[in-house]
């Protein structure tokens, strides 16, 4: 498959995804271009063509993370109302659209600060757990426990919110319910 074919198939979805993370169409265009440069130059590393879409989104996700790191951009999870632009995609602005980001936002609002902060630094900002521990002035063991517990609470939130289940492999699976059927977002 050529880069042009991949562009035709996925560029619109990738741009929507990127805009949902940066909330600026001009920056999103730059990140999309960077994403496709990486796709073009690294396509030979893809072993299974059946995983192309997931791989493209992974490349886009990494490009977004690189943008946030390079620009030292942060979003204060503790104040989610002020940072809705980070979590809601522009395609979900319609009142009746309900996304995983909506559920995640509501779940994060209920997450205790002692789990939310280390989780944010580790999983959103991409810091190593030792760096998180240093920033929060606590032991590595405490930080690891808080991150692990925070992840479990988020998983439990999706189970409580939209009826997700944990399959035999231990993966969280399910579908986002309509907002009126969602236990946490409604």
Q: Are residues 160 and 120 in the same domain?
A: yes
Specify if 186 maps to a domain: no
d(CA 71, CA 21): 14
Residue numbers of the domain that contains 8: 3-70
Q: Are residues 111 and 35 in the same domain?
A: no
Please report the pLDDT score of residue 87 as a whole number. Answer: 37
d(CA 57, CA 18): 9
Please count the other Cβ atoms lying within 10 Å of the Cβ belonging to residue 176: 19
Q: Are residues 110 and 176 in the same domain?
A: yes
Q: Are residues 165 and 106 in the same domain?
A: yes
Give the CATH number for residue 64.
1.10.1740
Per-residue pLDDT of the chain (186 residues; tens, 9 = 90+): 788 888 998 999 999 988 888 888 888 999 999 899 888 888 888 888 888 888 888 888 888 888 877 775 544 333 333 333 333 443 333 344 567 777 787 888 888 999 989 988 888 788 899 999 999 999 999 999 999 999 898 888 888 877 778 778 777 777 777 777 777 776
Q: Which two tokens stand for residue 157?
A: 């939130």
């Amino acid at each position: 498959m050529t880069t042009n074919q991949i562009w035709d198939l996925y560029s619109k979805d990738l741009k929507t995804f990127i805009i949902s993370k940066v909330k600026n169409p001009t920056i999103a265009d730059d990140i999309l271009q960077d994403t496709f440069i990486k796709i073009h130059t690294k396509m030979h590393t893809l072993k299974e063509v059946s995983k192309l879409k997931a791989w493209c989104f992974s490349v886009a996700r990494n490009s977004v993370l690189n943008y946030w790191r390079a620009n030292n951009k942060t979003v204060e999870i503790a104040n989610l109302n002020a940072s809705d632009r980070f979590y809601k995609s522009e395609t979900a602005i319609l009142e009746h659209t309900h996304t995983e980001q909506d559920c995640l936002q509501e779940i994060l609002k209920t997450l205790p600060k002692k789990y939310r902060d280390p989780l944010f630094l580790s999983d959103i900002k991409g810091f190593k757990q030792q760096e998180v521990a240093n920033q929060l002035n606590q032991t590595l063991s405490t930080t690891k426990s808080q991150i692990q517990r925070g992840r479990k609470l988020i998983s439990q939130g999706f189970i409580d919110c939209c009826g997700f289940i944990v399959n035999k492999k231990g993966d969280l699976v399910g579908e986002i319910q309509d907002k009126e059927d969602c236990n946490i977002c409604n």
